[in-house]
């Protein structure tokens, strides 16, 4: 069964540093997403990406965040200057036209 792959599985970074979280979506999917889950809280939508541009974003997705699809396979989330409150599990997902979302296993980001 096709999978969404995320790397790394766990990243520790110092406050103020930039991090890039990487995802390889399912190859024939058209829509790509990032969600996050702060420990003990709900899974929250960050951003969706379609046709090489952001199609929706939440209030959480401010200027500190950016997404990119640098080649035909990777989809990345960059946090420019991490804060303690950015510590969370970040999930990548992709979907086809029929809302068939597939989620990755997540990257646990710890900001110290």
Partner 1 sequence: AQSVSQHNHHVILSEAASLELGCNYSYGGTVNLFWYVQYPGQHLQLLLKYFSGDPLVKGIKGFEAEFIKSKFSFNLRKPSVQWSDTAEYFCAVNPTGRRALTFGSGTRLQVQP
The Cα 100–Cα 98 span in angstroms is: 5
- Write the binding mask 58 to 97 for partner 1: x where contact by CB under 8 A, - elsewhere: x--------------------------------x-x-x--
Determine the interface stretch with partner 1 among 15-23, 44-52, 65-73, 75-83 (rule: CB under 8 A). 44-52
Q: Are 35 and 44 in contact (CB under 8 A)?
A: yes
Least Å distance between CB 42 and partner 1?
5
The Cα 40–Cα 82 span in angstroms is: 20
- Asked if residue 35 binds partner 1 (CB under 8 A), the reply is yes
- Asked if residue 55 binds partner 1 (CB under 8 A), the reply is yes
Q: Is 92 exposed, middle or buried (0-12, 13-18, 19+ CB in 10 A)?
A: buried
Nearer to partner 1, 50 or 68 (CB): 50
Q: Which of 11, 13, 44, 76 binds partner 1 (CB under 8 A)?
A: 44
Q: Are 4 and 103 in contact (CB under 8 A)?
A: yes
């Amino acid at each position: 069964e096709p999978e969404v792959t995320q790397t790394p599985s766990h990243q520790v970074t110092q406050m103020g540093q930039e991090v890039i979280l990487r995802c390889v979506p399912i190859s024939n999917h058209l829509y790509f997403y990032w969600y996050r889950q702060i420990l003990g809280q709900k899974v929250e939508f960050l951003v969706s990406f379609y046709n090489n541009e952001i199609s929706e974003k939440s209030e959480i997705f401010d200027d500190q965040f950016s997404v990119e699809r640098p080649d035909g396979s990777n989809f990345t989330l960059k946090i420019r200057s991490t804060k303690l409150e950015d510590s969370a599990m970040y999930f990548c997902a992709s979907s086809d036209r029929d809302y068939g979302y597939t989620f990755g296993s997540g990257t646990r980001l710890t900001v110290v």
